[in-house]
Amino acid sequence: MAPHWPEEVDVFTVPHSRMKKLVNLYKSMVMSTDFGDKVHLTSLLQNLHNVFTELKAHERIENTFIMGELRSKLRAASISNPAVCNCHSDNRLTEMQDLVSDGYEWAEKPQRERQIYGRKLRLALEDFTQNFLPHMDMEEEVFQPMLMEYFSYEELKALKAKVIKQHGISKFEEDCHEKFVSESNKSEESSRHLPDEEEKLCYPDHLPNELCFKILSFLGPQDLCRVRQVSHRWANLAQDPELWTGIFPVHWAMGQWSFHPQSLDETGGEGTSWRKGGSYPKEQLYFCPDEDADIDESGGDTDTHGDPTDSDECRISEVRSRTYFKSK
């Protein structure tokens, strides 16, 4: 039982009372947690993370502001005390933090494996508690008397105020961290529900036939052929006669994929008709030289006044490729 010290200079009692509350808190949470339930386990891990973060901050404050000041006083007095140098060397806080962090992976595993992790965590917490509570009692019994011996009354008052202030800052940082984690979890939860919201959108397959037909009416013959490969529904829509306002196989063979192609006379491409006079709105004329035609080798005068298409040297076979239209 630690002796009772004046409250103004009792450096350990106030922060240790907070740490003991945290220990009782996680002991109560572990007892009421169903480790087989993913939600229960995840909630426990979040709370344990907060608890051990604060315990770790408490350890850092003690090392920096209490043990550090005490070591300086002992060094000035040429006194060596191993207990002061190694008081936090084996408290297992880091191990517990790692074990809690690993729990998030276990929470995603099947129920039986979550229960296995739960037993492991419960045993580790019991072992930690059995060491941590006596450790705090030892600090109050051993280090507080040393503080009373090597520090003045005013120095201890200032030291206590500094320690409490640092614990307040640490708690504030922990609250900020907890708020950040909470907001992050809300963001993750929102992102998980995002696919459900996307499913409410209207996909092309959900559009009525009339609207799909209107969209397809803006496509050319080549794109309509490609659309037919998407699905049976689109294939039936794409081959509707109302979309095929004209059939132009000759133009399409030449790369003019349109329902309103230029006439072959306008393109001036190879194999087009150069006959002048007369138009062929629904058919195109191809001129092909007759390579088997007899050639006049007599060297006689040719009739330069006749139509060159009627001369023996320029016999041309006319091949008409008819284009069939399909009216609405």
CATH code for position 45: 1.20.120.520
Contact 33, 44 (CB under 8 A): yes
pLDDT digits (tens, 9 = 90+) for 234-284: 888 888 888 887 788 888 788 888 877 776 555 554 444 434 444 444 444
191 and 290 belong to one structural domain? no
Domain for residue 124, yes or no? yes
Q: Where among 199, 214, 231 does a domain terminate?
A: 199
206 and 286 belong to one structural domain? no
Q: Residue 209's Cα: distance from chain center in Å?
A: 35
Domain for residue 222, yes or no? yes
d(CA 315, CA 169): 104
Q: Report the 10 Å Cβ neighbour count for 69.
A: 19
124 and 157 belong to one structural domain? yes
Confidence of residue 176 (pLDDT cuts 50, 70, 90): low
Q: Give the residue numbers spanning the domain of 276.
A: 245-296+306-328
pLDDT digits (tens, 9 = 90+) for 75-86: 888 887 777 766
136 and 11 belong to one structural domain? yes
Nearest alpha carbon to residue 251 among 227, 275, 220: 220
What's the domain count of the chain?
3
pLDDT at 174 over 80: no
pLDDT for the residue 200: 56
Domain for residue 1, yes or no? no
238 and 127 belong to one structural domain? no
**Identity of the residue numbered 194:** L
Domain for residue 327, yes or no? yes
154 and 277 belong to one structural domain? no
Q: Report the 10 Å Cβ neighbour count for 215.
A: 12
Identify the three-state secondary structure at position 289: strand
Mean pLDDT of the chain: 74
pLDDT for the residue 316: 32
Q: What is the CATH number of the domain that holds 234?
A: 1.20.1280.50
195 and 160 belong to one structural domain? yes
192 and 212 belong to one structural domain? no
